[in-house]
Structure 1
Amino acid sequence: MLDAVVIGGGPGGYVCAIRIAQLGKRVALVEKEYLGGTCTNWGCIPTKAMLTSAHLYTEIANKSKRLGIEISGLDYDLKKIMSHMNRTITMSRKGIEHLLKKNEVDFFNDNAVIKDAKHVLLEQSGEILETNNIVIASGSEPSMFRPFSEVEGIWTSNDVFRLEEMPESLVIVGGGVIGVEFATFFSSFGVKTTLVELADHIMPSEDSDVADELRKSLTRQGVEIIEKTKVTEVEREECSFILNAEGEQELSLQAEKVLVAVGRRPNITEDIRDLSLKIERGIVTDSRMQTSVKGIYAIGDIRAGIMLAHVASYEGIVAAHNIAGDEMEMDYSAVPSIIFSSPEVASAGLREADIDDKQKVKIAKFPLSANGRARTVLENTGFVKVIADKESGKVLGMSIVSPSATELIMEGVVAVRNGLTVEDLENSIHPHPTLSETILGALEGIDGMSIHI
């Protein structure tokens, strides 16, 4: 008898299985395809590997002369870019496999079918695993809907990772994280890229000033951005697609390729539905990650909550501790949101758009252009914004548009999660010259005492 069977080997599932094993319990992990799930194989890891090439290419193209480096014949090799991506994926898979063996997790590369709350069938081998607990971590798949689903050849994000040649032109439908990151990649290499977003601005989950800064950067890179617009029709011609769209005005777009990047939907299979779990958009759980059926837990994208790899991993840890008999609850108060655009974007905690009229807060911004380290690396687009409680001084939120924003945001995460005040952070000496001093500048601005602006 197993203590737990975890279904799905993505960042939620494998982390959960390892933690259960570390807590002294016997656990099996079942993954029908590749270890690492969407993140390793069709998401975070391959995207960032590709973007590393794109960022390096644009850095050389845009900065080399000003930095005194003479470059001639700058070019790129798509096959080598994709080879780097595939090597990164393979290394990540092997790393996870090693960790499972190290922690004595029983791994089955098979399709799991849940028979009931105590039994899981391995479809290929026919073996039935008997268990006290089941963790569903089956992940998600790219969303596709009409009119795109009716036209052959429309890309999802998965198709980009099979790229064999660059298109001359591309329309990306969806200006969220996936759309912006792919717009960054393709435009870096000269692809005529158009980004269409239904909401008022790209990155609709972020504040408008964050979106404004990113819009300016993408536009300089040659991306055409069309907001407040819905694609209503798509037609395929011999070598291109025609898209009709409605917004503030009707328009028609033509491109060699179309990429639909409007998010993902949970993989809820029939065996999961047959369990009579409470399902809304995704599987509903409590703060301990337990579903409406005792002994069955759900983590990650299958919940259709915050679909981020690092959230799935922490949900897996919470589920593992509860399965092992500990009391642990999820806390979503300081989830970092990160975008590997150019410049990068990151935020944690409260956004300015979320502030209630009754909330008494102070807001301060510090521009990247006033930072010494930014000047040394020829960067001037971006800022740090801090939102603090007016009375207590606690940091409630932080947004960063900057190179390395995805690393810098951790200061905001720690502050929001632990109720630290502006003074707590100000009194922590920030190294010089670094981009982290932009955070210090914004903190000083909360009380109108920024020194460097």
Structure 2
Amino acid sequence: MTSALTTRLLVVGGGPGGYVAAIRAGQLGIETVLVDEGGLGGTCLQRGCIPSKALIEAASRFAHLTAAAAGIDPAGIRASAPAIDFAQTVAWKDGIVARLSGGVAALLKKAKVRTLSGRAVFSDAKTCAVETAEGRITVSAETVVLATGSVPVELPGLPFGGAVISSTEALALGALPQRLAVVGAGYIGLELGIAFAKLGVAVSVVERQDRILPLYDSKLTDPVRRTLEKRGVALHLSSRALGHADGVLAVETQDAGRLDIPADMVLSTVGRRARLDGFGLDAMAVDVKDGRIAVDDQCRTSMRGVFAIGDAVGEPMLAHKAMAQGEMVAEIIAGRRRRFDPAAIPAVCFTDPEIVVVGLSPEQAGGPEQAVVGTFPFLGNGRAMTLDAEAGFVRVVARREDHVVVGVQAVGAHVSELATAFVDAIEMGARLEDVAGMVHAHPTLGEAFHEAALGALGHALHA
């Protein structure tokens, strides 16, 4: 049975960008229909950000107990040999996902957004068909927002299936593998690789470039590399994965040699690409460039009345970018004047230790001639000591001419929680003197931000 409906706004994709756009539009009195096929919350909530952080937390708890059982906990805590019921871990993770997804559904309902479960396939720019459990529904809209998300990139020699998995399958395993090979030493591969190593899995990492986390400078990544070494993770840099068969990952090394890595399972994490297939984008006549939907600074596509947001428009593929774009687009549709031009978008690696990057690095800011830099190590931070987490630092980058903060980077335990303060400083146009003049709570990790600013001014108090 086929039915039809007409709406002012159609949002395709229920991930962070799509559901935020729909909720904000509903709040603004815009009649809205949201079409989603992968579960409300999208990749981030269902198969990425949230479930991975649950696994990382469980792994960290297990690692602490393992250290206590081995008698090497510095605080003197002792424990019997710990065990993990991984099926219960996955069930706990799934419970968190279900609660959050249910919360999104409730928020959409509160905003009077109608939700359809299925894939939207367009026949023209403003009309799509959705195959739902109740039958086919044709939706016509005045305005469309495409928030179709992204999917993992598949290597030709390592097609997904069987023992070769993406991060999606890694977060839904029924049992832990004994030996795991991770292909790709970016943030997804290392976040999950470290977590599995903490759970007792023998982990190997294969990376084509000559260092881990290639997008970040070595001062930020060195503490993570030391953690990998401490956990016994085998690093194979400047190497290329060729294929997997009979429990062995074949690898070509830098000198064109052959290396066979025992691996019950291979986790391929070489990147993500915009999810554009199967929606009828050709019929919509929107421009696609370099594998992403081309948009302007208001997220407008080449087709009038069609917007695109989030991973579908390319890097950075971050949930918080998608959310910001979704809110903005809803307000533009409601007649408000908005454009997407953030001073900084934070990036966080939930490795051990964590890494936060906001704004410009010292090199991007022009080097010593144009930038002044202050760094404060967590070795001098009392709260870090009480957490037994003294590895890492906070680094502040400011313009030399006027001391305006243009970048902040940090590596250390729980530094993800400092990201908001870093973004605030840059977005508000703070100078080093502003950060240095603020009263920061003691004892907290945030004091390192204060001390880094003081250091850039030449008078750090605790360094």
TM-score, scaled to structure 1? 0.95
1:105 aligns with 2:113: yes
Segment drifting more, 23-32 vs 158-167: 158-167
User: Which residue does the alignment assign to 1:234?
Assistant: 243
1:279 aligns with 2:288: yes
1:181 aligns with 2:186: no
- CA shift at 1:449, angstroms? 1.0
User: Which residue does the alignment assign to 2:159?
Assistant: 149
Residue identity matched to 2:202: K
Partner residue of 1:350 out of 345, 349, 360: 360
Alignment gaps of 5+ in structure 2? 1-5
Segment drifting more, 339-348 vs 356-365: 356-365
Partner residue of 1:428 out of 438, 442, 449: 438
Q: CA RMSD in A?
A: 1.7
Partner residue of 1:131 out of 118, 130, 141: 141
Separation in 1 of the partners of 2:219 and 2:127? Answer: 51
Separation in 2 of the partners of 1:359 and 1:17? Answer: 47
Partner residue of 1:339 out of 327, 337, 349: 349
Alignment gaps of 5+ in structure 1? none
> Sequence identity of aligned pairs in percent?
32
**Count of aligned residue pairs for this structure pair:** 450
| Change beyond 3 A, Cα 1:423–1:251 | farther
Partner residue of 1:267 out of 272, 275, 281: 275
- CA shift at 1:419, angstroms? 1.3
| Change beyond 3 A, Cα 1:150–1:119 | closer
Partner residue of 1:15 out of 7, 16, 20: 20
| Change beyond 3 A, Cα 1:150–1:182 | closer
Partner residue of 1:374 out of 361, 371, 384: 384
| Change beyond 3 A, Cα 1:251–1:215 | farther
User: Which residue does the alignment assign to 2:251?
Assistant: 244
Residue-by-residue CA offset, 1:375-395 (whole Å, 9 max, x unaligned): 112111111111111111011
Residue identity matched to 1:46: P
Partner residue of 2:302 out of 292, 295, 305: 292
Deviation above 6 Å: which 4+ runs of structure 1? none
TM-score, scaled to structure 2? 0.93
SS at match of 1:132: strand
Segment drifting more, 120-129 vs 81-90: 120-129
Separation in 2 of the partners of 1:365 and 1:204? Answer: 21
Separation in 2 of the partners of 1:279 and 1:129? Answer: 23
1:92 aligns with 2:97: no
Separation in 2 of the partners of 1:139 and 1:341? Answer: 24
Separation in 1 of the partners of 2:369 and 2:27? Answer: 43
| Change beyond 3 A, Cα 1:423–1:60 | farther
Separation in 2 of the partners of 1:90 and 1:183? Answer: 25
1:10/1:137 contact within 8 Å kept: yes
1:165 aligns with 2:172: no
SS at match of 1:127: strand
Mapping 1:311-322, distance limit 5 Å: 311-322=321-332
Residue-by-residue CA offset, 1:37-75 (whole Å, 9 max, x unaligned): 111111011101111101112233336742232211222
- CA shift at 1:150, angstroms? 8.1
Segment drifting more, 66-75 vs 95-104: 66-75
Mapping 1:213-228, distance limit 5 Å: 213-228=223-238
Residue identity matched to 2:9: A
- CA shift at 1:241, angstroms? 2.1
1:29/1:108 contact within 8 Å kept: yes
More strand by share: 2
